[in-house]
């Protein structure tokens, strides 16, 4: 199918014209596989991560359906509903529908929380052909009777696994219960955990299945590396890297909102233009930060995972994992912000002592060892060479070291412990072990004495 072009697909002329104006000529693999099934009206189960062209894969056939089955949309109704997990992704999808449908007479709207609802209510009052929404605000407006879904023709659930991560599964089920029985369903997810597979099975009817770029695969054009560094030195290392002017458009990922703010503020104080983007930022602030990065007004965008999939900028030069995610799949989504649209990209991971287990999980998921960069001023050979201990073993070692401190004169109240054995029990008074302390170490009969092993 590699020889297929957009012009070969049975899309109506206004859509073909809009696609041609974007400069795209050859569909991506998921577009080649999904569009024919969707044009036939089939349900579809797509396993694909962000950056594979997924939005156009469902937007183009949906617009084609609307062109061929023209109906006047009733007030407070929608013909198509696309459910997305984040405001950024919802806006991105809305923009795609506007781009590909600009030569068609269709009404589109996007609704999400964090902003006033009145403009959204006004848009819904006239009825819309395509509605893109986040779950919370959608249910709010339905409850207020500003929207009904009884005449919906197509339902799209995008980034289903991220919906699960964000706790939206109950809201999704509420939305599904409001949909008419007869409809076309499109279900997209980058991963397929059991809960998501169960939801897909309940939603889809004899679906076509498309799987492109599974989450365990990372873009071949991304040059990955890891730098071992003490946690206290991460900001120094980040500033050192950013002295290199080839780091011209950078996304830095942290695990928390407060961490994102601190990193961005620290960079700004050192005259490195940076802004943070996360769930606590207003919608206007988030959009302004994205535009500032696109236009080169800032060099660095510091983001949390919640914003990872909503960042759609083609020429990101570097992605830096300031903190490794505790979910390996998130690493793949993060670094997928670079090397988009066929370009090359660089992904650098900072790893401190507590994050080595996260690194191990990431390497297991992607199926390869990430090269280590030692030629950097804050390289920690100790972290690089340390072994990964389970929490239980680490605790036992600490206890053993603490109890290895002898006291002079009289009975040694602290004794060297074998972490696999139970320590001797002490009387409530006096402090000596029950039955005395036999010479040579552990109490007679073994230290664990039938208790639980540590």
Q: What is the pLDDT of residues 183-205, one digit of tens each?
A: 999 999 888 888 899 999 999 99
Contact 370, 384 (CB under 8 A): no
Least reliable range by pLDDT among 9-23, 314-328, 396-410:
396-410
The Cα 452–Cα 50 span in angstroms is 48
pLDDT for res 415 = 43
Please tell me which residue, 314 or 351, carries the higher pLDDT value. Answer: 351
The answer on pLDDT for 235 being more than 60 is yes
The Cα 355–Cα 327 span in angstroms is 11
CA torsion angle 125 126 131 136 (round to 10)? 0
CA distances from 46 to 43, 193, 212 (A): 10, 14, 8
pLDDT for res 195 = 87
Beta strands of 289-390 (E only): which ranges? 300-303, 318-321, 345-351
The contacts of residue 353 (CB under 8 Å, 6+ apart) are 230, 231, 380, 382, 383, 386
The answer on pLDDT for 53 being more than 90 is no
Tell me the longest C-alpha to C-alpha distance in the chain.
96
Q: What is the pLDDT of residues 342-374, one digit of tens each?
A: 567 899 999 999 999 889 989 988 888 999 999
Average pLDDT over residues 282-309: 84
The contacts of residue 253 (CB under 8 Å, 6+ apart) are 302, 303, 304, 305, 308, 319, 320, 321, 322, 323, 325, 334
Rank 134-138, 412-416, 432-436 by mean pLDDT and report only the highest: 134-138
- Per-residue confidence band for 211, with pLDDT thresholds at 50, 70 and 90: confident
The answer on pLDDT for 167 being more than 70 is yes
Contact 38, 181 (CB under 8 A): no
In the chain, % of residues over pLDDT 90: 55
Average pLDDT over residues 427-447: 42
CA distances from 173 to 83, 145, 181, 192, 288 (A): 12, 19, 14, 17, 33
Calculate the CA 407 to chain-centre distance: 53
The answer on pLDDT for 315 being more than 90 is no
Task: Kindly state the helix (H) or strand (E) to which residue 261 belongs, with its residue range.
Answer: helix 257-269
First-to-final CA distance of the chain: 59
Please tell me which residue, 102 or 413, carries the higher pLDDT value. Answer: 102
Measure the CA angle with vertex 346, ends 344 and 349; round to 5°. 155
pLDDT for res 282 = 75
The Cα 386–Cα 327 span in angstroms is 22
pLDDT for res 422 = 46
- Per-residue confidence band for 314, with pLDDT thresholds at 50, 70 and 90: confident
The Cα 84–Cα 89 span in angstroms is 7
pLDDT for res 447 = 38
Contact 311, 88 (CB under 8 A): yes
pLDDT for res 68 = 93
pLDDT for res 311 = 72
pLDDT for res 51 = 63
The answer on pLDDT for 423 being more than 50 is no
φ, ψ of residue 108 in degrees (nearest 5): -125, 155
User: Whole-number mean pLDDT of the chain?
Assistant: 83
**Coil, strand, or helix at residue 60?**
helix
Q: Return the closest-CA partner of residue 348 out of 315, 325, 371, 380.
A: 371
Contact 223, 193 (CB under 8 A): no
pLDDT for res 214 = 57
pLDDT for res 448 = 39
pLDDT for res 162 = 83
**345 forms bridges with which residues in the sheet?**
222
- Per-residue confidence band for 308, with pLDDT thresholds at 50, 70 and 90: low
**Coil, strand, or helix at residue 320?**
strand
- H helices within 13-167, ranges in order? 13-22, 29-39, 54-68, 87-100, 118-125, 135-143, 160-165
Contact 134, 84 (CB under 8 A): yes
Please tell me which residue, 394 or 43, carries the higher pLDDT value. Answer: 43
Please tell me which residue, 387 or 56, carries the higher pLDDT value. Answer: 56
In the chain, % of residues over pLDDT 70: 80
Only one residue has tokens 């403009």, namely 119
SS (H, E, C) 401-447: HHCCCCCCCCCCCCCCCCCCCCCCCECCCCCCECCCCCCCCCCCCCC
User: What domains, with CATH codes, occur in the chain?
Assistant: 6-211 (3.40.50.300), 222-385 (3.40.50.300), 392-454 (no CATH)
The Cα 451–Cα 430 span in angstroms is 23
The Cα 41–Cα 10 span in angstroms is 13
The answer on pLDDT for 59 being more than 60 is yes
Only one residue has tokens 């949390």, namely 304
The Cα 265–Cα 338 span in angstroms is 23
Contact 130, 41 (CB under 8 A): no
pLDDT for res 218 = 63
């Amino acid at each position: 199918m590699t020889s297929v072009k957009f012009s070969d697909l049975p899309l109506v002329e206004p859509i073909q014209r809009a696609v041609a104006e974007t400069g795209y000529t050859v569909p991506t693999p998921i577009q080649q596989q999904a569009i024919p099934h969707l044009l036939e009206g089939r349900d579809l189960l797509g396993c694909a991560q962000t950056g594979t062209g997924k939005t156009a894969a469902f937007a183009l056939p949906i617009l084609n359906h609307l062109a061929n089955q023209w109906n006047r949309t009733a007030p407070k109704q929608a013909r198509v509903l696309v459910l997305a997990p984040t405001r950024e992704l919802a806006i991105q999808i809305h923009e795609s529908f506007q781009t590909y449908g600009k030569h068609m007479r269709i009404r589109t709207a996007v609704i999400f929380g964090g902003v006033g609802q009145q403009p959204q209510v006004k848009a819904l009052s006239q009825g819309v052909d395509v509605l893109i929404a986040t779950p919370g605000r959608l249910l709010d407006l339905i409850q207020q009777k500003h929207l009904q879904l009884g005449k919906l023709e197509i339902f799209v659930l995008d980034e289903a696994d991220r919906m699960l991560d964000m706790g939206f599964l109950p809201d999704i089920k509420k939305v599904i219960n409001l949909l008419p029985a007869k409809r076309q369903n499109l279900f997209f997810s980058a991963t397929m955990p059991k809960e998501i597979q169960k939801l897909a099975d309940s939603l889809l009817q004899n679906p076509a299945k498309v799987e492109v770029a599974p989450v365990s695969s990372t873009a071949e054009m991304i040059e990955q590396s890891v730098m071992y560094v003490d946690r206290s030195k991460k900001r120094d290392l980040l500033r050192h890297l950013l002295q290199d002017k080839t780091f011209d458009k950078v996304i830095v990922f942290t695990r928390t909102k407060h961490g994102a703010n601190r990193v961005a503020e620290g960079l700004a104080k050192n005259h490195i233009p940076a802004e943070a983007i996360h769930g606590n930022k207003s919608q206007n602030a988030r959009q302004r930060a994205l535009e500032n990065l696109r236009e080169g007004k800032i060099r660095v965008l510091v983001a949390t995972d919640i914003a990872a999939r909503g960042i759609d900028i083609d020429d990101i030069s570097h992605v830096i994992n300031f903190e490794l995610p505790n979910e390996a799949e998130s690493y793949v989504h993060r670094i997928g912000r670079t090397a988009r649209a066929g370009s090359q990209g660089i992904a650098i991971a900072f790893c401190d002592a507590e994050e080595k287990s996260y690194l191990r999980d990431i390497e297991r998921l992607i199926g390869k060892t990430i090269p280590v960069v030692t030629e950097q001023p804050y390289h920690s050979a100790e972290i690089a060479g340390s072994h990964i201990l389970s929490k239980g073993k680490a605790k036992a070692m600490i206890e053993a070291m603490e109890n290895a401190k002898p006291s002079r004169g009289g009975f040694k109240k602290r004794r060297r412990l074998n972490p696999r054995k139970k320590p001797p029990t002490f009387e409530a008074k006096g402090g000596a072990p029950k039955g005395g302390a036999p010479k040579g170490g552990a109490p007679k009969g073994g230290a664990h004495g039938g208790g639980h092993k540590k």
